[in-house]
Structure 1
Amino acid sequence: MRKITFLLLLFINTSIYAQQEIDTLSFNLEQYQKTMDSIDNSFNYGYGKIILGDNLAELNVPEGFKFLDGIQAQRVLTDLWGNPPSTSLGMLLPEDMTPMHDNFTYAVEIIYSEEGYIDDDDADDIDYSDLLLEMQNDAVAENEERVRLGYPEIEIVGWASEPYYDAENKKLHWAKELKFEDTEVNTLNYNIRILGRKGYLNLNAIGDINILDTFNKDRENILKSVEFTSGNRYSDFNPDIDEVAAYGIGSLVAGKILAKAGFFAVILKFWKFIAIGAVGMFGAFKKKLFGGGNDKDA
């Protein structure tokens, strides 16, 4: 009941889900499955070559995956999964996975952060053991604010995959193992950053820690699938007109532990209860999804 109460508070606080208590004892399983199927069938997936943003980057959807465009990805993340509103370029899902799948594994959200050209001169000088300790201490300090906002405490257990920087292709990736209070299975937060002329592409995957081997098998294909377009690449940087970010590779890895990823992870931890809640709010989602026609892709 504690988990149900927590999610209902989350629904109310974000104004996403129906403002009423869900009676799980009398819940209609047939209606549940019908609604889940209706939501899953409402999406249009993309394959092959996809242009991200305003000709910012190009995605070649890897074999075994499918793509949701920015508008649909935002609706999944915000309307269905309860994350704060954001601007997404899209989302990659394994071919056999859907946003409301009963046995959801992971998805990869793609966003862009235009924070300037990131100088990578410090990449070879970073002590990732020291950096991990710093991040763990920061997480402890940030837990007080998380609890105040009504979210569970989080512990950074350690690296699930130590940071690796591909200097030739300007791609950085690492994974953290996270532990949410009152949960038995730890969370995997896998991060990929692709550096560009004016910022970076952020590919963020979250699932239970037991999907690490699965993601590692998919990682290389995902890494190779996304590239900045000509004029937006790291090599296109012009020091005379382009801004330089105020941080380097080390700070990019450290980041703020759970700005948005934390919400994503919380949602996955309470997946079954959220799926039940989604039944009550599908009418509003359907109206938003199919109503109007003025939305433009991210």
Structure 2
Amino acid sequence: MNRLFLSVLLLLAVGLPLGRAENPTPREARLAEIKKLADGLNYQHGEITLRGGLARIKMPEGYRYLDPKDTQTVLTKIWDNPDTGPRSLGMLVPPNLSPASADGWAVIISYDEDGYVKDNDAAKINYNDLLKQMQEGVREASKEREKKGFAAIELVGWAAPPRYDANAHKMYWAKQLRFGDSNEDTLNYNIRMLGRRGVLVLNAVAGMGQMAEIEQATPAILSMVDFQEGHRYTDFQPSTDKVATYGLAALVTGGILAKAGFFKVLIAGILAAKKVVIVGVVALFGVIKKFFAKVTGRSSSDAQ
């Protein structure tokens, strides 16, 4: 993303007037376009059912929901991402913020129907060792990114180490990422909700300066989104239901994202510092498979 577009977002954030000149500059034209797109978003409130009854969102006052179509508008037309293929289940927008504002953040929701993820490895995972393996993988992935003209990426460390709620079957953690020579690190806040046939994936797009704000909002987010009856983790039927080929450790390393391919998982957003972020740690599938083998003790073929 170029400096011109980032400047446009800054102008939008401070509310400068639009289109006064008879011949608007490219900056003014882009600003007007963003404002028109943002004004056209159809926010929904209250209770939302996802994917024909798979899950339900019960939003507290102030929170708003954007459906997959509007979410795609935000991702591709306001945040200026490439169209990455599979669409989300929507987006949660916190109170008093807009996806088009420079200090805005949002939670993108998607679903991976890879089967029932066993959580019996929860107490066995050494997250310090896992972090080192992830950092190694990100370094390898960064080399590929740079060859294709993208900024280098570094996994600095945990912004918040993984935590698993065994009763609710929900896991959440945060990573601190660094892109190129940026003077502000990126926050990648992850929430995973285990279900009968797959995992609800919630990713918060934000800057490191918003860590405390998102941490404060996490309990509300965890409580407002859940599977409906028949799709819950406890509804699993061992005799008929598919079991995922990975466990909790793979959720953290990004195994689900890696399967989608190197560039299909690029989703960008705008930070308070007006720069591009990427949701998730992008890594090559072959590197991720090595992670699985180290973490689970299985062969690389088992991790496929």
TM-score, length basis structure 2: 0.76
What's the counterpart of residue 270 of structure 2? 268
Give the Cα–Cα distance (whole angstroms) in 1 for the partners of residues 194 and 188 of structure 2: 19
* Inter-CA distance 145–228: structure 2 relative to 1 (3 Å threshold): same
Instruction: Give the letter for the 1:182 counterpart.
Output: D
Q: CA deviation at 1:271?
A: 8.1
Q: CA deviation at 1:178?
A: 0.3
- Could you list the runs of 5+ residues in structure 2 that have no partner in the other structure? 7-23, 277-304
**What are the equivalent positions in structure 2 for 1:1-298 lying under 5 Å apart?**
3-4=2-3, 27=25, 31-81=29-79, 82-83=81-82, 84-101=84-101, 103-256=102-255, 263-265=266-268, 267-268=269-270
* Inter-CA distance 273–241: structure 2 relative to 1 (3 Å threshold): closer
Give the Cα–Cα distance (whole angstroms) in 2 for the partners of residues 170 and 261 of structure 1: 28
Q: CA deviation at 1:69?
A: 0.8
> Is the 1:159–1:175 contact (alpha carbons within 8 Å) kept by the matching residues of 2?
yes
* Inter-CA distance 149–62: structure 2 relative to 1 (3 Å threshold): farther
Q: CA deviation at 1:104?
A: 3.1
Q: CA deviation at 1:33?
A: 4.3
Give the Cα–Cα distance (whole angstroms) in 1 for the partners of residues 273 and 66 of structure 2: 20
> Is the 1:186–1:208 contact (alpha carbons within 8 Å) kept by the matching residues of 2?
yes
Q: CA deviation at 1:5?
A: 9.5
Q: CA deviation at 1:149?
A: 2.3
For this pair of structures, how many residues does the alignment match?
A: 253
Give the Cα–Cα distance (whole angstroms) in 2 for the partners of residues 270 and 211 of structure 1: 9
* Inter-CA distance 35–208: structure 2 relative to 1 (3 Å threshold): same
> Is the 2:104–2:271 contact (alpha carbons within 8 Å) kept by the matching residues of 1?
no
Q: Which runs of 4+ in 1 moved over 4 A?
A: 2-7, 28-33, 256-262, 269-274
Q: CA deviation at 1:273?
A: 8.4
Instruction: Give the letter for the 1:108 counterpart.
Output: V
- Could you list the runs of 5+ residues in structure 1 that have no partner in the other structure? 8-25, 275-298
Q: CA deviation at 1:272?
A: 5.5
Q: CA deviation at 1:252?
A: 1.1
Give the Cα–Cα distance (whole angstroms) in 2 for the partners of residues 124 and 228 of structure 1: 24
Q: CA deviation at 1:166?
A: 0.2
User: Which deviates the most, 60-69 or 150-159?
Assistant: 60-69
Give the Cα–Cα distance (whole angstroms) in 2 for the partners of residues 180 and 269 of structure 1: 12
SS at match of 2:36: helix
Q: Identity across aligned pairs (percent)?
A: 39
What's the counterpart of residue 290 of structure 2? none
SS at match of 2:159: strand
Instruction: Give the letter for the 1:263 counterpart.
Output: L
> Is the 2:110–2:202 contact (alpha carbons within 8 Å) kept by the matching residues of 1?
yes
What's the counterpart of residue 296 of structure 1? none
Instruction: Give the letter for the 1:35 counterpart.
Output: E
SS at match of 1:67: strand
User: Which deviates the most, 55-64 or 182-191?
Assistant: 55-64
* Inter-CA distance 244–28: structure 2 relative to 1 (3 Å threshold): closer
Ranked by relative contact order (alpha carbons within 8 Å, sequence separation 6 or more), the top structure is 1
Give the Cα–Cα distance (whole angstroms) in 1 for the partners of residues 152 and 202 of structure 2: 24
Give the Cα–Cα distance (whole angstroms) in 2 for the partners of residues 263 and 151 of structure 1: 11
SS at match of 1:54: helix
